[in-house]
Amino acid sequence: MMTAPEVRKKPLNDGSSGGMTKKAGLLGQLGKLSRLLSPQFPDLAPHIEALTKKIQDEKFNLVVVGQFKRGKSTLVNALIGEAILPTAVVPLTSIVTILRYGPVEEIIATFTNGTREVISRDELPEYVTEKRNPQNVRKVQSVDIELPVAFLEGGVQLVDTPGVGSIYSHNTDAANHFLPESDATIFLMTADQPLSIGEVEFLRNVREHVTKIFFVLNKMDMLTEAEGQEAAEFIRDSLSKEMSVDKESIRLFLLSSKTALKARLTRDEQLEEKSSIRTLEKSLGDFLAGEKSKVLVNVAARRARKIAAEASTLAKLRLKAYSESAESLQKKVEEFRNFRAEIRRRQEEISRVIYTASNITTMVEEDRVQFEERSVPVIEQEFDEIASRYSSLTASQLISKLDETIISLVTQAIDKWREDEESKIRSKFNAAVAELFGRMNDLIDDVYQHAAELFDVQFERLQDYLLFNDDSEFYYFILEDIKPSLEELSDALVKRLPKGIARHLILRKQKETLRIEFDRQCGRVRYDILQRIDKSMLKLGKMFSDSVIDHLSRISAIIDDAVAMREANSAESSGKVLEYEEALSGLTILESQFAEMEK
């Protein structure tokens, strides 16, 4: 079997370019940070321990990400030269799947309760696909695949993630949750679809966690050369605007992963060359051989710096509170009690506005009606064209083929409308609550402005949170409750009526079914979006309430702890102050050292 070119490997502890020094230095600093965190900040210490193990094991996560139906699993299969991951034209992958090097093939499913199970290649779809494991009913956390493939040597872990933006919201969650573990990403787009708003939003999320991104434009085989270049130019322009960089600096790999996989399975070198997979592989190989070690250290140093900074902030807050006199603390207790009452009053006022009905629901219904009016004639014409190809089929065969046609036409049309409508609603919804959100932020600002006079508290603003609810419960339910009647019609026609008459009746019945199903699925999408608008308002209200309570409680806890310290004996108080002063001093030094390692 044809496999990917061997990656030129350079171990992380290679002495060249300071590899050994950087790794040893980073591990030493992580050890110091872990010892500092354990006594005073035990909840932060495990993060450093996990980071340390990753550096020691030299694990590098190259994560393939993108929206659903972009061909991520096919690309992974093409890179390793084997059709091991299931692929399909519908949203398929539902579980994060990690491919790493091993002397023999072994596949292990890890479940959310911590148990593990060795499975076969044939069993893999039962665990990682939406069809065989809907809504992750098996409670699979991840699947690890070990393969004797050169591309995976040297600690590289190639990670296939579920597609984001499909009707399966839990898949989007799984992809987003793995992003913090990424060291570099392959961001997959497709030539047959322009860069969507959803993809741009997801790219922003990706860039928060990784700096090295390989942009790939897949399915180039579906377009002519001129169409492909036009699509590539559009993608480069869009990425340039989003990333605020010169578009000439954006490296975009144009390829067909489907063609590449077929070429490798059939050992067709000319077809492989046509797929352009080698260009991407060479760039990945050069990066993994020359930059992987540096990126791994830099990413770990950045994460360690953030943890050290968080601990430093907590230490400063404690010390600030401990330095207050008993009289000053008591005064602040009274001031803050009065301030809490005022905040509660303003919070209730804003909450009443949050739960007021929005006119967005009217817009959803109007959009649905307009979509159906313009779409029904189009899909009916497509239905007629497809049905004309089945003149030689029996009645039973004809009904079966037209069932498939109905499902395909309805889902394709509604998938596109649903995606566009969600983007539109999300934009309208966020704009509608922008003013309200500003009032909420002002209130939180006032809480911390007041607290700043007490302890100089820092906080994250609310506008970083998502507003529109992405937890869709929509799924397709087509023909399920009318199929028995169609089967009965088929039996009657086969037994009693001439073929021409039977065909005429079947076509008329199925076309009527097409209209019914299209209207029904549009209505279900409308209901799903309206439910999500309601959930979004509830989410916004709860987020606001929880945020106010959380910030007020955090400041109250600092004051209460400081009061308790004042009431304790002086030796104990002095000891606590000394502990936090020493921790802060060490954390400040480590922050600076980690910052240097990021460069």
DSSP string, 249-271: G--EEE--HHHHHHHHHHT-HHH
CB atoms within 10 A of CB 583: 21
More confident residue, 25 or 444: 25
pLDDT for residue 167: 40
pLDDT for residue 449: 61
More confident residue, 196 or 100: 100
Where are the extended beta strands (E) located within 168-311?
A: 184-190, 213-218, 252-254
Burial of 68 (0-12, 13-18, 19+ CB in 10 A): buried
pLDDT for residue 169: 43
More confident residue, 149 or 434: 149
Which amino acid, 543?
A: M
Domain end: 277, 299, 321, which one?
Answer: 299
| Average pLDDT value for the chain | 76
211 and 356, same structural domain? no
Cα 97 to Cα 85: distance, rounded to the nearest angstrom: 9
66 and 204, same structural domain? yes
* Domains held by the chain: number: 3
Which residues span the domain enclosing 276? 62-299
Q: Residue 258: is its pLDDT beyond 80?
A: yes
pLDDT for residue 504: 80
461 and 348, same structural domain? yes
153 and 286, same structural domain? yes
pLDDT (average), residues 518-540? 78
368 part of a folded domain: yes
pLDDT (average), residues 169-185? 63
343 and 196, same structural domain? no
Which H helix or E strand runs over 147? strand 140-147
pTM of the model: 0.53
More confident residue, 323 or 220: 220
pLDDT (average), residues 475-500? 51
pLDDT for residue 116: 92
Cα 20 to Cα 12: distance, rounded to the nearest angstrom: 7
313 part of a folded domain: no
Least confident residue range of 280-289, 344-353, 431-440, 528-537: 431-440
398 and 537, same structural domain? yes
107-123 residue pLDDT tens: 999 988 889 999 999 89
Cα 15 to Cα 366: distance, rounded to the nearest angstrom: 66
118 and 239, same structural domain? yes
33 part of a folded domain: no
Give the highest mean pLDDT range of 94-108, 318-332, 354-368, 453-467: 94-108
The order of strands in the sheet holding 184-190 is 116-119, 106-111, 140-147, 97-101, 156-160, 60-66, 184-190, 213-218, 252-254
Q: Residue 254: is its pLDDT beyond 90?
A: yes
Are β-strands 106-111 and 140-147 bridged in parallel, bridged antiparallel, or unpaired? antiparallel
Q: Residue 316: is its pLDDT beyond 90?
A: no
26 part of a folded domain: no
Q: How confident is the model at residue 416 (pLDDT cuts 50, 70, 90)?
A: confident
Q: Which residues lie below 8 Å from residue 585, measured CB to CB, with a gap of 6+?
A: none
Q: Give SS3 for 116.
A: strand
510 and 486, same structural domain? yes
Q: Residue 431: is its pLDDT beyond 70?
A: no
532 part of a folded domain: yes
The tokens describing 181, both together, are: 């573990």
327 part of a folded domain: no
pLDDT (average), residues 295-315? 82
Give yes or no for a contact between 79 and 151, defined as CB atoms under 8 angstroms apart.
Answer: yes
155 and 199, same structural domain? yes
Which one-letter DSSP state was computed for residue 89? S
Which amino acid, 9?
A: K
pLDDT (average), residues 558-562? 71
CA-based diameter of the chain, in Å? Answer: 102
Helix, strand, coil % (nearest 5) of the chain?
A: 65, 10, 25
Q: Residue 103: is its pLDDT beyond 80?
A: yes
204 and 117, same structural domain? yes
pLDDT (average), residues 79-84? 90
pLDDT (average), residues 545-549? 68
Q: How confident is the model at residue 268 (pLDDT cuts 50, 70, 90)?
A: very high
Burial of 356 (0-12, 13-18, 19+ CB in 10 A): exposed
498 and 372, same structural domain? yes
23 part of a folded domain: no
Phi, psi of 344, deg, nearest 5: -60, -40
Cα 351 to Cα 340: distance, rounded to the nearest angstrom: 16
573 and 552, same structural domain? no
The tokens describing 50, both together, are: 């996990």
User: What Rg value do the Cα atoms of the chain yield, rounded?
Assistant: 29
**Domain CATH for 435:** 1.20.120
Cα 189 to Cα 70: distance, rounded to the nearest angstrom: 6
The tokens describing 98, both together, are: 């990690």
194-243 residue pLDDT tens: 677 777 777 877 887 777 889 999 989 888 888 888 888 888 888 888 88
